[in-house]
Chains A and B, each alone.
Chain A
Amino acid sequence: MPIRQKIFFLTIAVVLLLVILELVRRRRLRVEYSWLWLASALTIVLMILRYDLLIWITGLVGAVIPTSTLFFFSILYLALLSLNYSVRLSDLTRQVKELAQEVALLRAESSSSWEAPAARPPDPPRASAK
């Protein structure tokens, strides 16, 4: 791998790493999700520094040229990532549904003329916001 390529891609990988770390630091990215992105960035760095590793894997899976190995695993990785997002979305969908139902049920309870309003305690005096 020519030195010019190495420097170019290393720069990109390092910037990616810094962006991820900054996102975590600002709490924009949850820590438990960040390891995946950190691992991705570090893999890129590793592939740049140890091109022979890529060639070795290429021989291992029986591919002809290293670029196809790279593209194959990149696409596989992205596909698994979307699958992971689908699972998370399914979870979130169910949670949002449960929450929406709960909100609606609680609102029905608190505003309902069907329940005895006398049973409700009077509002406590409002404390001044500090």
Chain B
Amino acid sequence: MLVVIPAWNEAANLHGVVGELRGARPDDDLLVVDDGSTDGTAELARRLDCRLVELPFHLGYGAAVQAGVKYGLRRGYPVAVTFDGDGQHDPADVEPLVEAVRQGADVALGSRFLSPGAYHGGLFRRAGRRLFSLLLRALTGLRLTDPTSGLKALGPRGQTLFALARFPDRFPDADALVLARRARLALAERPARMRQSHNRHSMHGGGRAVAYTFNMFLSLLVAAAGRESDLRG
């Protein structure tokens, strides 16, 4: 199977991430998607002997993940796992997700709220996640505890959905799950530990949180009310 590692200026963290993954999962193919880094992330990925998709300029997290998923789809991987390049995910949590896909899930999510005593983020993050959980439940009837999780395992149908031209390509979170539900994909959730990200540009941090919440809210409504044709090629 394929592990997609989106990385934007992660030269400081990539070594550790790849090392951990290799240690825990020696049989997986590791694909680093370099999202227009300027700190030699691509060079490092090459030196670490990873597969590499090098975007010509910075496209953003969602588009980087999507590029990796397209790579997996074209090579016919039965499972593609998305695993953030900043070291916040734990390779030990990958196997339950893969197992969920083998048992029929099209998209399996790692949730930090199903694992006890883990990092839950600050007050605002928790409130935001709760809000989106509730919204997601209202829109789809799904009870997912951690829709913003970046740790996912995708079966072939999940990969096809993530590769759609009109797939939400900023930060595919709750909106992606609404789309998955509309496309009648089977979703599953498994516990996952999330470590405090050592990322300088954590994507939900600081003043961008408000803009993020607003964008996600709009994107959710678009995903819920979008045209049927968005679910096809």
Contact = CB atoms under 8 A, between A and B. Distances in A.
Interface residues of A, number: 12
A8 interface: no
B20 interface: no
Given A94-B165, A97-B63, A97-B169, A104 B51 contact: no
A128 interface: no
A105 B169 CA distance: 17
A108 B1 CA distance: 18
B74 A105 contact: yes
Nearest to B49: A113
Interface stretch (B53-61, B109-117, B201-209): B53-61
Interface in B2-34: 33
A104 B165 contact: no
Classify chain B's interface size.
Answer: 10 to 19
A78 B52 CA distance: 45
> In terms of DSSP, what is the predominant structure of the interface of chain A?
helix
A103 B56 CA distance: 8
A108 B52 CA distance: 6
A101 interface: yes
Given A94-B165, A105-B67, A100 B55 contact: yes
A107 B54 contact: yes
Interface string A38-63: 00000000000000000000000000
Given A97-B59, A100-B59, A105 B165 contact: no
A30 B57 CA distance: 27
A104 B63 contact: no
A128 B62 CA distance: 44
A108 B165 contact: no
8 contacts: A94-B165, A94-B169, A100-B56, A101-B55, A101-B67, A107-B53, A108-B51, A108-B52
